[in-house]
Chains A and B, each alone.
Chain A
Amino acid sequence: MNRGLHRYTLLLAGATFFLIIAGALVTSHDAGLATSDWPLSNGQFFPKMVGNLFWEHGHRLVATTVGLLTIGLVLFLLIKEKRAWVRRLGLVALLGVIAQGLLGGLTVKLNLPLVVSAAHATLAQIFFCTTVSLAVFTSRSWTESRPTLEEQGSLAVRYVCLAAAVTIFLQLIIGATLRHSATWDKPLPTDLLLIHIGGAIAVTLLLATAAFMILRRHASETFLTRPAQLALSLLVAQLFLGIAAYMTRVASPNDPQPLNPMVGITVAHVACGALVFATTIVLTLRTFKVLRPSGLHQLSGRIAELTTT
């Protein structure tokens, strides 16, 4: 384990989180088309950043920084990282950030089609979780030897965590689509809104189940309980932010321009959603690292094998 490399991955993950906030500010201000150019803004690398161009060009500058940091990460991994699969994951991150930049350019050149904008927002979350995963894999808590624990009970915690992570990812796609379906001065589409609310219920049920299972079954294992507690806390905050975002967003079409608290709350909702996803990914990775199928699970797996053959 290289401490410098781990700190660098934390820096990249932090920068990516800031980039997600910058991107959410662009959407909440309806600033995505403040310039019709890409990659330059009004033909310049450093345009006068007034009006909504501040948000759009600021987002591009932060994105450029994250891109450069990712190139640095790949080089860092090539030099310092012995595990080939971690080096490859770094390469995946680099390709992801390139694809993300191109998607950003594409959505500007095509005047923000819903599919491309939603894909851009979704890939942002995937890239963020890749950087968080790299931070996990390069951490001491991951690389040091750790005793494995047996799954308890009939329902495996690992798979509940995995189900929660997948459901959160789907919820993020729905949320991204909802946000890009209507600008601040238009009402949100009711069908998508209802699907997003349904997704929030599903995420709450799955993540709360996973967290409570860990807190009850593995209370002394801080390697698992810390991310579980954090995920649960963030989930509660996210639910309140979701309600607040809806209330302010319903009122925003009556405003003369995008205003706070709508801008601040909707951006916080996006940012908190990214943190819930990232924390759940960390939790899921850790459960798969330390939890092993119990004798009961092995037996039931064997029975399943026998019944299918």
Chain B
Amino acid sequence: MFMKQTKVLLVLTLALSLLALASACGPKTEAPGPGDNTSSTAKKFAAKGNEGTITGVVSFTGTPPAPKKIATDADPACGQKNPNLATEDTVVKDGKLANALVYVKEGTLADGSKIGDWGFDTPTTEAELDQDGCHYKPHVSAVMVNQKIKIVNSDPTQHNIHFTPKNNPDWNQSQPNGAAPLSHSFARSEILVPVKCNQHPWMKAYVGVLKHPFFAVSGEDGTFTIKGVPPGTYTVVAWHEGGATGTEKPMQVTVAANGSAKADFAFGEAATASGNPSLQMMPALEFPMMGQH
């Protein structure tokens, strides 16, 4: 009986060895997601010179949750560089909310075409994600599909950068202090990809991946500006982290030729979106963002 068990375990061991080798040596490829307008078959968007802007302010009503102090005993280098390390999930100053991603979710251009039907050039400039003081800078950012993200470690300690997307492959890479910057990109759009450091489990960030360039992240004063938006009517969404999946606030926005549309959003207690009278309110909706693994 034991000889049989031994044989079974031997086969299992060999199979696991092969799997481990295959996973360590095998090429890692990322296929573009369905519906992503990155293929050459999508109509290429060309600016006509009559594009407008969407501007606004993201507010926070009520009392924001107080930042929580982070214990850095496990890695003294973090505490030495950043003694006031605290959570950044709700950064509010004078009632204005930072780190909200505002983006065009869908819509129709003035010529009747859908925004999703168009393909947009991937920027050649790299976005940057820095690990500085054992937290990520920026905390929330966005890139276009296939746009490169330059990942920098400015800390005197080692990190690992771990993207945990739902629609793209999971990606984890160690980055010791002094190591050269890493580079990564996403082949599929995703709102939003959580980023974490398994070495320092308080470190969290979010990266939105979009098919078009019509997005912005609210600054410390809550303001944002989305430039180069073709005339049309769009569903503009403000996303902010919180809870398990984050919260979305959608709003209908009409951009006139060479015009500037305004879209103000509000999060927090009894928060509602508000803006100029031309804006149509839509109910807030929750959407699944983060996969569990």
B23 beta carbon closer than 8 Å to chain A: yes
> Would you list which residues of chain B between 134 and 166 have a CB under 8 Å from chain A?
157-158, 160, 162
A285 beta carbon closer than 8 Å to chain B: no
A52 & B201 in contact (Cβ 8 Å cutoff): yes
B293 & A112 in contact (Cβ 8 Å cutoff): yes
How far, in Å, is A128 (CB) from chain B's closest CB?
16
Alpha-carbon distance between A35 and B160 when the two chains are bound, in angstroms: 6
Query: Among B9, B158, B160, which residue has its beta carbon within 8 angstroms of that of A50?
Result: B158
Are A42 and B158 also in contact (CB < 8 A) when A85-B2, A91-B6, A109-B20 are?
yes
Most B Cβ at <10 Å: residue of A29, A111, A182: A111
B68 beta carbon closer than 8 Å to chain A: yes
Contacts of A186 in B (CB 8 A): 244, 290, 292
Query: Among A33, A54, A103, A187, which residue has its beta carbon within 8 angstroms of that of B162?
Result: A33
B174 & A187 in contact (Cβ 8 Å cutoff): no
Q: Which of A6-14, A159-167, A241-249, A252-260 faces chain B?
A: A252-260
A52 & B74 in contact (Cβ 8 Å cutoff): yes
Alpha-carbon distance between A147 and B231 when the two chains are bound, in angstroms: 93
- Look across to chain B and name the residue whose beta carbon is closest to the beta carbon of A99: B13
Residues of chain B touching chain A, judged by Cβ–Cβ distance below 8 Å, are 2-3, 5-6, 9-10, 12-13, 16-17, 19-20, 23-24, 68-71, 74-78, 86-87, 157-158, 160, 162, 170-174, 176, 198-202, 244, 290, 292-293
Question: DSSP majority for the B interface?
Answer: mixed
Alpha-carbon distance between A15 and B248 when the two chains are bound, in angstroms: 50
B5 & A92 in contact (Cβ 8 Å cutoff): yes
Contacts of A184 in B (CB 8 A): 201
B10 & A106 in contact (Cβ 8 Å cutoff): no
A88 beta carbon closer than 8 Å to chain B: yes
Contacts of A256 in B (CB 8 A): 68-70, 86-87, 202
How far, in Å, is A117 (CB) from chain B's closest CB?
9
B172 & A106 in contact (Cβ 8 Å cutoff): no
A257 & B2 in contact (Cβ 8 Å cutoff): no
B200 & A51 in contact (Cβ 8 Å cutoff): yes
B77 & A102 in contact (Cβ 8 Å cutoff): no
B19 & A51 in contact (Cβ 8 Å cutoff): no
Contacts of B172 in A (CB 8 A): 33, 36, 111
B244 & A88 in contact (Cβ 8 Å cutoff): no
A88 & B23 in contact (Cβ 8 Å cutoff): no
Contacts of A110 in B (CB 8 A): 23
Alpha-carbon distance between A183 and B162 when the two chains are bound, in angstroms: 14
Most B Cβ at <10 Å: residue of A96, A102, A112, A256: A256
Interchain pairs with CB closer than 8 A, number:
121
Q: Mark A32-56, 1 if CB is under 8 A from B, else 0.
A: 1111111000100001101111101
A51 & B157 in contact (Cβ 8 Å cutoff): yes
Most B Cβ at <10 Å: residue of A53, A91, A113, A187: A53
Contacts of B16 in A (CB 8 A): 99, 102-103, 106
Are A51 and B199 also in contact (CB < 8 A) when A88-B2, A109-B20 are?
yes
How far, in Å, is A22 (CB) from chain B's closest CB?
16
B23 & A52 in contact (Cβ 8 Å cutoff): no
User: 14 A-B pairs, CB-CB below 8 angstroms?
Assistant: A33-B172, A35-B160, A48-B158, A50-B75, A56-B198, A88-B2, A88-B6, A91-B6, A99-B12, A102-B17, A105-B20, A106-B16, A186-B290, A255-B68
How far, in Å, is B31 (CB) from chain A's closest CB?
17
Query: Among A32, A50, A95, A109, which residue has its beta carbon within 8 angstroms of that of B13?
Result: A95
Alpha-carbon distance between A196 and B5 when the two chains are bound, in angstroms: 29
B198 & A187 in contact (Cβ 8 Å cutoff): no
Contacts of A105 in B (CB 8 A): 20
Contacts of A52 in B (CB 8 A): 74, 198-201
Contacts of B75 in A (CB 8 A): 50-51
B160 & A106 in contact (Cβ 8 Å cutoff): no
B9 & A96 in contact (Cβ 8 Å cutoff): yes
15 extra interface residue pairs, beta carbon distance < 8 Å, beyond A51-B200, A257-B70:
A33-B198, A36-B160, A36-B172, A37-B174, A50-B74, A50-B77, A52-B201, A53-B158, A92-B6, A99-B16, A102-B20, A111-B162, A189-B292, A256-B70, A259-B71
B158 & A33 in contact (Cβ 8 Å cutoff): no
